[in-house]
Amino acid sequence: MLALKNLKKSYTDAGEQHTILNNINLTINAGDSISIQGASGSGKSTLLHLLAALDKPDSGEILLNNSQQPNQGNDITQFTEKEADAYRQFRVGLIFQKFNLIDCITVMENVMLPAKITGKVQGEYIQELLDALDIHRHINKLPSQLSGGEQQRVAIARGLSHQPPLLLADEPTGNLDSKNSDLVSHLLVTTCKKLNTALVMVTHSQKVALLTQQQWYLDDGRLTQI
Ligand SMILES: Nc1ncnc2c1ncn2[C@@H]1O[C@H](COP(=O)(O)OP(=O)(O)O)[C@@H](O)[C@H]1O
Ligand SMILES: [Mg+2]
């Protein structure tokens, strides 16, 4: 689905160049579940931003295998703003550490945002998602009326409401206590599996990482499978 080839990214700080990602290679197939661990500042979020076409590498490619054009590779690093917007809206779901829910609208309205934007509103699928994440009884509340674990479950539902083939999660359990971290990470992995959504999850937790099929580690700009 996505093939990362020789990705490089560096930042210049006070005239000094720091290589954050150095020749990253990774293939993400449909339905894969992948965790990425690494020390703080090792470039995990930078890598997810590249996958979401929110940022561009210095060099390298991220080839998207488009199901509508099976023989054509599309390099998302070369996308125009408009193409990147469409890629994010239709192909990617995003979940962040701090939930990032919109507090002046209900839980259901939050969940439905990506689905409404893409016009992919499928009632049965949404019900299945709400069931899988056990948030039915909260749909008319405001996010602030929920616990941290419940809010993160809503964020997962929002990340998946438009049925993206790829879900990117940046430390999705980083703000939860260990009990909720276990619950939410387990739900995240099993929900993606059920929906055949590829998951790339950045995490600090070895325990959470072990829930995914592939564990990768980012250190000194290099990504290695562990
Ligand atoms: N826009 C930026 N400009 C300069 N340096 C940045 C920028 N974004 C990230 N960095 C630096 O790149 C490194 C990796 O950051 P990040 O990807 O956020 O790491 P992680 O998510 O693994 O903690 C850090 O040293 C950070 O300070
Ligand atoms: Mg980060």
Q: Counting ligands in written order, which one lies closest to the CA of residue 54?
A: 1
pLDDT at residue 97 above 90? no
**Distance, CA 119 to ligand 2 centroid (Å)?**
31
Average pLDDT for residues 110-133, to the nearest whole number? Answer: 91
171 CA closest ligand 1 atom index = 21
Whole-number pLDDT of residue 216: 98
Residues 4-19 as b/e (b if ≥16 CB within 10 A, e otherwise) read bbebebbeeeeeeeee
Q: 195 vs 142, which has greater pLDDT?
A: 142
User: Which is nearest to 203 in space by CA: 191, 194, 193, 226?
Assistant: 226
Residues with CB under 6 A from ligand 1: 11, 13, 20, 38, 40-46
Average pLDDT for residues 203-220, to the nearest whole number? Answer: 95
DSSP-derived 3-state class of residue 7? strand
12 CA closest ligand 1 atom index = 4
Q: Counting ligands in written order, which one lies closest to the CA of residue 221?
A: 1
In contact, 136 and 155? CB cutoff 8 Å: no
13 CA closest ligand 1 atom index = 4
Nearest CA to ligand 1 atom 27: 41
Q: What is the DSSP string of 58-82?
A: SEEEEEEE-TTSTT-EEEGGG--HH
Encode pLDDT of 52-66 as tens digits.
999 999 999 999 985
Tokens of 157: 């539902």
Instruction: Walk me through the domains of the chain, giving residue ranges and CATH numbers.
Output: 30-56+81-225 (3.40.50.300)
Q: Name residues whose C-beta falls within 8 Å of residue 97's C-beta, 6 or more positions apart in sequence.
A: 170, 171, 172, 174, 175
Encode pLDDT of 11-48 as tens digits.
998 899 999 999 999 999 999 999 999 999 999 999 99
